Structures are given as C-alpha cells and as structure tokens.
Amino acid sequence: MNKTNQLKKEVKKMAEIIFFETEPWEQEYLKKNLKNHKFKGYKARLTEKNVKLAKNAEILGVFVWDKIDKKILDKLPKLKAIMTTSTGFDHIDIEECKKRKITVCNVPSYGENTVAEQAMGLLLAITRKIIESVERTRKGNFSLEGLRGTDLKGKTIGIIGTGRIGTYMCKYAKAFEMKVLAYDKFPNKEKAKKIGFEYAKLNRLLKESDIISFHVPYCKETHHMINKENIKKLKKGCIIINTARGKLIDTSALLTGLKKGNIAGCGLDVLEEETAIKEEKELAKLTKVKQKLVKEEKLLLKNKRVLITPHNAFNTTEALTRIMQTTVENIKAFLKGKPQNIVK
C-alpha cells in the first residue's frame, strides 16, 4: 500500500480537529469550512496542563507559542497531523514527529509584504525618532530638540535572506533609493538584476551596511548570525532590524554593540526567549543560562535606542485571513490523502 492510500485509510471520514491559540473569528471560520468534521477551538496556548483537551485529536492546530515536544506528543496517541498557522516551525520537534509518522504542515506564504512593511515601519520609527516625537507632543511639548533624524536615501541596507519577505524588503528599500546588499545561501542572480540589488558575502555586508535587516528562518546554521565575534565588524552606528526569529541574534552581543556604539539602534519584533519575557510565571522553569538571557532582554526593553514590538509583524486582517485560508486548504488536502506544505 503506497503512502497516499495509507493516509486515506488512516484518517476517518469525520476527523477530530482541535486548534489552540485561535481567536473567536478564527474558530468560526474553521468550523464553517470544516463542517463535516468534529472541530473544537481554544483561545488558550497549548501546555502540558491543558493538552488533555486534545487527547482524541487526529489533527492538531497550533501557533508559534505552542511548544510541541516529546512530552506533549506522548499525550496525543491518535494524532496524525499538526497544522501550524505560521511559516516558522521551530516550536515543533519535527524529528520526533517523523518518528511517529505525524505529518506537519505550515503556511509558507501569507504575509511576505506584511512582515516587510513592519520591518520598514520599525526602521522609519528609529531613523525619524517617531516614538519620541509622539510621546513628546502628547505631553504638550513641541520642541524639536533631540529629534533630528537621518535620511534613508543613499544609505546601504544589508538584507539577510532573500526569500519571499526579504524580496519585498529589497523592493521597499529600492523605493527609498537605498543601496541594497543581500546575503543568501542560495543567491538568485536573476532576481537581483531585476530588482537592482547586489549579493555579497556576510562579512562584507556586516562591514558596509548602515542598516541590517533579518529575513531568514531559524536553524542551526542561522543561530546567532550576529554574535560577540562579528559584532565588532559592524559599521559604527549601524541599525539592526529583526522581524524573523530572536535566536538569529545573540542578545548579549547586541547589548555590547549598543553600549560601545557599534549599534545606534534596534527594531525588534522577536526576542531570543519570548515566552518567558511575555509570561513571568515561565521564568522559574528556565535554566540559569536562560534566566540570564531574560534579564538581558529586560535591559533591551528599557533601552531608549531599542524599539520592541510583541511579535506583531504578521498581525494584519489581510494576512490572518490568508493564514486561515491556507490552513483549511492544508487540512482538506491531508484528509484527501494528498498533504501539501509539508515541513520536512
């Protein structure tokens, strides 16, 4: 029996589908579009305490805050597929899922322009001191002292990763008449020629860029792409933008760069240890190394040269609708025995 027929045989006509971290409108959308199946949605994040709610799940829906590891999987004996409503999948133990023959599907494309727009927004907020300006006028103070910004036109931006999101970032940067250097493990020279940017080695990009923006997934190869060693190579006064994954940048190195002046400012939508910084109760569960990391992140939060948003780059009406549409398509394809957007 081939794999497709095996999938068809394994999944019942009426599947039990459980989703976590879903808003009421998302639950309604999923329920309406999966009406031939037993669907239940929860707003809560999936944890070891509430995983029993999904004990009969054949298809599990999760988001980036839902950590799916061996402990969770052990409590889901009927599970056949995981649908993550995100592009990233580092919150799921993919190897453990493979061992158990659990199919994992993601949403590879939903908000490439959405995330790139957030990155540009963070950059403009830093270079034009928008946050400080608004805070000042709200207090009735219209003084311009200390609010002088810098132009983007003519600056060199280093874009790390030229996938869907990185490509949009290249286009937006060119619209601002910036020089664009890009780094990617798999350079697309045709794309570079069409948009008008140049591929460069990482060391050159770090040395020459006035701004560096991250648009790569997290994996072993991309862990701490900015670290204590290469932070010294950055052009003095560089601005760092990260809307990708927190672990791409060593937080300790970032603090050092800010202190020594290598880095003029940061715009971050992601942090290395996001769950614990969001929820104080999670702090006690961490190792001493990770507790130190959270303390460093709190220093970033207090730094006036650092703008941090709460992993919000994906969060637009249009992008969320596209996520739901693709997720429903992923589920239906899996139930037909022809899974799509499989994470390998």
Cite the active site residues.
245, 274, 311
**Strands of 306-308's sheet in order across:** 198-199, 179-183, 156-160, 211-214, 238-242, 263-268, 306-308
Judge whether 205 and 149 are in contact, CB under 8 Å: no
Judge whether 178 and 232 are in contact, CB under 8 Å: no
Residue 262: other Cβ atoms inside 10 A: 19
Q: Which amino acid is at 176?
A: F
CA distance 291 to 309: 21
Residue 64: strand pairing partners: none
Of the CA atoms within 13 Å of residue 6, those in its CB half-sphere come to 7
Q: How distant, in Å, are the alpha carbons of 121, 126, 130, 189, 275 from that of 144?
A: 21, 16, 12, 44, 38
* Cβ partners under 8 Å of residue 195, min gap 6: 167, 170, 171, 174, 180
Residue 344: other Cβ atoms inside 10 A: 5
**246 Rama sector, left if φ>0, alpha if ψ -120 to 50, beta otherwise:** alpha
- Which residue is it, tokens 């670290």? 227
Give the residue from 35, 92, 32 showing the smallest Cα distance to 61.
Answer: 92
